[in-house]
A and B are shown apart, each in its own frame.
Chain A
Amino acid sequence: MSKFPEELIELLNDPATSKIVGTTDEDGTPHLVAKGSLTTFDQETIVFAEGFEGTQSNKNLVRSIWFDRKVSVNITRGLSSYQIKGRPYKYLINGSTFRKMIDRARARRGPEADIAGVWVIVPEEIRNESPAYRGKLAGEKRGLFHNHLDVIRRAE
């Protein structure tokens, strides 16, 4: 299990960050949902709340923990972006982390906000997907080959 980079931890703790969870249904079709609650408490695992047991996303997560399938998470704010690939490790239906998440949901969305459970994802791969970082890697790998010429033209 890898520790998260500082920048990723900062992004995870920022409510303004876009946080997308990607799962697959029975036939492999991708399913993406935004999870505003997604964060980390231990800098090693991802947690997020599930609002309802019967959602497609939740069923896909149950299928993933039952039959050992991966899920993916995208964290983006401005030009900073990370992808985390991992596996659901736990689904919490009570206990201290569950309590922390329901308290946060109610603080954010009002006293009647509710959650069904909390997923804990153990990352297996963390990828920096920020354009600057990816561009640098691409440049190192293939030189100028993929650049449009107007990008490198001399200014008049």
Chain B
Amino acid sequence: MSATQELGVQALAGKYPDVPKSIILKLDLQRRGIAFTEATADATSQPYYRGPEQTAFSSKETTTRPFPGPLLLRDGTSVLASPVKGQFSDPYTIDFLDGKFFVFDKGERIDEVDFSPRPEFYGKLTSRGVPMESIAWSRPQRLDIYPYRYCHYWDTRDQCRFCAFFTDLKQQKQLAGDSYAKVVHPEDIYETVREALKEPGRFSQINLTAGTDYSGDVPFEKEVERYVEVLQAIGRNFRTRRFPSQLIAPAYSKQQVKRLYEETGLTSYCPDIEVWDKELFKWICPGKEKWFGRDYWIRSAVDAVEIFGKGNVYTNFVAGVEFAQPNGFTSMDQALDSNFEACEYFAKNGVIYLSLVWTPWKGTGLGGQKQPPLEYYVRLVRGLVEIRNHYGLASDNDDFKHCGNHGDSDLERLN
């Protein structure tokens, strides 16, 4: 890739005047990462912002401290970016000056930002004595729940090579031990959601995801059963049959997907393809290849449209991982062609193919690899939105206020 492609936010905003600077900044904040000054760390530990204590396992130095909610840009765009020390070589800095947060790049003040505030259910306990902030996490307008905290791909070392959720097998096994419930009790989830909904206007969607559990007489049957139970428990909180929700899960059979739709109030299903190219999928996602391969994952998403409807099935891909070496692409055009082909295929079939920025976390199989330049992401999000527009698709489940991971869906606000 040539040096001319290494343009920064300002230059790219000039080169692509139809892409707002805030979206380009978001892409770069995710690509290069963020770091907090001491003043920001102090300010985000105050009651208005204070999030749960979290341990950053993917860092060489293990950090445990309260993390605030996601970053918010002035236009309301939410940005999922972790300020994990030692992860990023050239991060943006978030500083706190005169009562406001600002993002700085190499000493230059770029813009005012904020953080999503602490929701009111944090700090409360379920009737079983479980801290609610260990059951659900708050994004700006979304409640995230992980009902099963273990990924069995790790058992056979078939985890996705970019995965940063469970990057240290030993620590993860410890987490899954006595001190940390692997399976979250549905009643704790029911009570936590009930409490969260008491805060006016705070949440407009519930998202479920978890580590993969392929066990059962029929593969994935236990996992599907668990999700049905959890979604039914959540559903008791609503007076409508369906509630805005998304399940990010493995590729299930049509029968399993149908069961999830018919027996619960779920509105959206998202089996993540992660990377489109056939050979890269095999290499980067060995667990998904084993259970049961790329074609099965694609078919599962497409078949799910018959059940959930056009535009209610998603598949995320880790944008940039297609450049991972030694097997990845070496040119932007190659990678863009591959992703646009995928987007076109899925869009034609009513599925939303959504990008998120690859962070080569240290400790993952691809840790420390070079990411593509920012211009790649700008061209990518423009192209994806253009294709989805053509097919009349809008990513409401994963838009600027619900997820915080997708520069392409952020662009759809003008549609």
Interface residues of A (CB under 8 A from B): 53, 59, 62-63, 65-67, 89-96, 98-99, 102-103, 106, 114-115, 117
Contact = CB atoms under 8 A, between A and B. Distances in A.
Contacts of B114: 95
B76 A98 contact: no
What are the 4 tightest A-B residue pairs by CB atom distance, in nearest-first order?
A: A66-B20, A91-B76, A102-B201, A93-B401
B202 interface: yes
Contacts of A92: 76
19 contacts: A53-B399, A59-B414, A65-B22, A89-B74, A90-B74, A90-B75, A91-B75, A93-B78, A93-B401, A94-B116, A94-B117, A94-B140, A94-B141, A94-B202, A96-B117, A99-B201, A114-B201, A115-B201, A117-B76
Contacts of B72: 93
Contacts of A94: 116-117, 140-141, 201-202
Contacts of A106: 200
Contacts of A67: 17, 20
Contacts of B201: 94, 98-99, 102, 114-115
B15 interface: no
A65 B75 contact: yes
A103 B113 CA distance: 24
A91 B116 CA distance: 13
Contacts of A66: 20-23, 75
A45 to B, nearest CB: 13
B200 A93 contact: no
B413 interface: yes
A93 B75 CA distance: 9
B122 to A, nearest CB: 14
Interface in B99-131: 114, 116-117
Contacts, number: 54
Nearest to B138: A94
A75 to B, nearest CB: 24
Nearest to A94: B140
Contacts of B116: 94-95
Contacts of A99: 200-201
Contacts of A91: 74-76
A62 B414 contact: yes
A117 B399 CA distance: 14
A117 B414 CA distance: 15
A98 B117 CA distance: 11
B413 A53 contact: yes
Contacts of A103: 200
Given A94-B141, A102-B200, 5 more contacts: A59-B414, A62-B414, A90-B74, A94-B116, A117-B76
A104 to B, nearest CB: 11
A89 B22 CA distance: 12
Nearest to B411: A66
Contacts of B21: 66
B228 to A, nearest CB: 29
Contacts of A95: 114, 116-117
A56 to B, nearest CB: 11
A93 B74 contact: no
Interface string B382-415: 0000000000000000010100000000000110
Contacts of A62: 75, 413-414
A105 to B, nearest CB: 9
A70 to B, nearest CB: 16
Interface string B135-165: 0000011000000000000000000000000
A93 to B, nearest CB: 5
A27 to B, nearest CB: 13
Nearest to B114: A95
A95 B413 CA distance: 21
A107 B116 CA distance: 25
B114 to A, nearest CB: 7
B75 to A, nearest CB: 5
Contacts of B399: 53
A137 B177 CA distance: 79
A97 to B, nearest CB: 11
A102 B318 CA distance: 36
B78 to A, nearest CB: 8
Most chain A CB neighbours (cut-off 10 Å) among B74, B76, B140: B76
Nearest to B399: A53
B12 to A, nearest CB: 14
A152 B23 CA distance: 60
Nearest to B394: A54
Contacts of B117: 94-96
Nearest to A62: B413
A55 B116 CA distance: 24
Nearest to B400: A93
Contacts of B413: 53, 59, 62
Interface in B32-51: 48
Contacts of A63: 414
Nearest to A59: B414
A123 B91 CA distance: 34
A59 B414 CA distance: 5
A93 B141 contact: yes
A66 B22 CA distance: 7
Nearest to B402: A93
